[in-house]
Structure 1
Amino acid sequence: MDSNRRVAAEILESVLNAKSGKLSLSELEKQILARLPAVDSTFPKATRQLLDHLVPNVLRTQNENGAVALNTPHQFDFDENQGVDALFDTAANALRTYLK
């Protein structure tokens, strides 16, 4: 397994752990930032950009959802993590595609 594939597999594991709650967002960010410099130019640019922006996008989504939740009447159930799983799934699917 070349170094890019090894790094992609490690990051995929971290993304899945973060999605399941086994890894905090700050830990995920540290792991991604520690591993991304190891990939070379053959790693897909779009996947790298997706990973670069994953944690900030998750945080922004949670903040936006939190603001909406505060303004949602209590009789309505609002999921503050709505859309967060989709961000994790997009990153995981991009990594899985690369690893195929």
Structure 2
Amino acid sequence: MKFDPFVTSDQSKNHKIYFNVPSCIHRKIMSFPLSKELRQNTARKVTDITVHVGIHPNKVVITRLHLDKDHKKKILEGKTKSHQVGKEEGKYKEETIEKMQE
């Protein structure tokens, strides 16, 4: 039973598609994902340089959350300090205010 009516199972049609496709598309047709063990082993080149293995955004999973209260407090303290620096000094200095009033 066919699952997809738009995909053919005819051998001659598949041969025609396979051999008449440009190389850029042919590369995608013949590609497949590696297992986790093989990805770890092949993440290094022959010259022992580590290589970045691409990760698709849809397959990303959060493994742990940093919900420390201390960390959150430090961030909030830093924000309040930055907001208070401008308020203590004011927009104008006292000298400029006196000159404007004269």
The answer, yes or no, to whether TM exceeds 0.5 is: no
**Higher RCO by CA contacts (8 Å cutoff, separation 6 or greater):** 1
So what's the TM-score if we normalise by structure 1? 0.23
So what's the TM-score if we normalise by structure 2? 0.23
Q: Which has the higher helix share?
A: 1
